Amino acid sequence: MNTADSVTEFEKVGCVLCGSSEHELQCTIGQHGLPAHVVLCKRCGLGFLNPRWTEERYSRFYAMEYDKYYRTYLIGEKGGKASGAQVQPTIPALVRMKQAGILPVKIDSVLDIGSGSGGFLLQMKGVYPSAEFYAIEPSRNCQEVLRKSGITLVSDTVNSDWDKSFHEKFDFINMRHVLEHFLNPLEVLTKVRGSLKENGLVYIAVPNSAKPGLPLLRYFFRAVHTYYFNRPTLLALAQRAGLHAEFILEGDAFNRHELVLVCSKGEIINEIPSAYAAQHDVFAPIIKHESSFLYKLKQVVKKALGRESNNTAD
């Protein structure tokens, strides 16, 4: 499943959170054997890909190749049937916000950024039947399914000026496992803030680098995850975008490896976290273990026996 990449398809970047260019390299190849030069910022502790694919290369990947790796059901026989519309669904975002006492009583308009084929929005429709539903989604396959479900496509990319036409439009914005995919998550969160109603909420869920799903080197680290957040770095990024944390959660029965942050509109706060040492101490022993001869030998044996380890979380 290797993809051939020329050197010109990569670009170098500084830390989006603190601006530092002092990084510590963690690995060069990630999930599916695709390139993943994961670095840790030595100043703030944010993890990110550097160098990484260019915007043009990522656009091509998401439009034409992503589904092949991550949404095989869309191109298989099942043909992209969105589930959950008939049965009263369990939506972790709503359950978690209800438990935290911050679930909005009324929701008139919902935006799902990185909606896929609209599974979440159709579930929300079961709970808020009179609301309007919007999506940002690059996959051509998914866009077709969204159209058939009556969901309005706002844009095929977060990098466009979509927010200008949707100023203070949304009561609720869902960003489940998408922030870690963006080229500039700070810019995206700033747009999100602008498109939220005064009392609107944004729900952000990302993989938690402080409690990563394993294996780290061949599963958690991946070409499509341009950023690797822990609690302090995610919180600091949201605050830099003018978002105020209403609720933070580090793993629960729904997903042990998830980091969830729900925000309302707030003031812009520029504080640089000191999360490098703690993050290094999480990654270093796992990388050492997964790089050992014995570990690799065990993986070869498992594969030969058809039991290749494969975690199912995002």
Determine, following the binding rule CB under 5 A, whether residue 224 of this chain makes contact with Zn ion: no
Please report how close the Cβ of residue 242 comes to Zn ion at its closest, in angstroms: 19
Q: Please, are residues 206 and 229 in contact by the beta-carbon 8 Å criterion?
A: yes
ω into residue 51 within 30 of 0, thus cis?
A: yes
Helix (H) or strand (E) holding 135: strand 132-136
| Residue where the block lists tokens 């589904």 | 67
Determine, following the binding rule CB under 5 A, whether residue 38 of this chain makes contact with Zn ion: no
Determine, following the binding rule CB under 5 A, whether residue 16 of this chain makes contact with Zn ion: no
CB closer to Zn ion, 45 vs 92: 45
- Of 165-204, binders to Zn ion (CB under 5 A) are none
Please report how close the Cβ of residue 233 comes to Zn ion at its closest, in angstroms: 8
Residues in the chain: 314
Please report how close the Cβ of residue 47 comes to Zn ion at its closest, in angstroms: 10
Please report how close the Cβ of residue 271 comes to Zn ion at its closest, in angstroms: 12
Determine, following the binding rule CB under 5 A, whether residue 235 of this chain makes contact with Zn ion: no
Dihedral (C-alpha) 241, 242, 243, 245: value to the nearest 10 degrees? Answer: 110
Determine, following the binding rule CB under 5 A, whether residue 59 of this chain makes contact with Zn ion: no
List the structure tokens of 52: 């990484």
Q: Please, are residues 212 and 282 in contact by the beta-carbon 8 Å criterion?
A: yes
Q: Which stretch binds Zn ion (CB under 5 A): 17-25, 52-60, 98-106, 237-245?
A: 17-25
For Zn ion (CB under 5 A), the number of binding residues is 8
Tell me which DSSP letter residue 160 carries.
Answer: S
Please report how close the Cβ of residue 182 comes to Zn ion at its closest, in angstroms: 16
CB closer to Zn ion, 18 vs 183: 18
Determine, following the binding rule CB under 5 A, whether residue 20 of this chain makes contact with Zn ion: yes
61-90 burial code (b ≥16 CB/10 A, e <16): bbbeebbebbbeebeeeeebebebeeeebe
- Residues contributing to the site for Zn ion (CB under 5 A): 15, 17-18, 20, 41, 43-44, 46
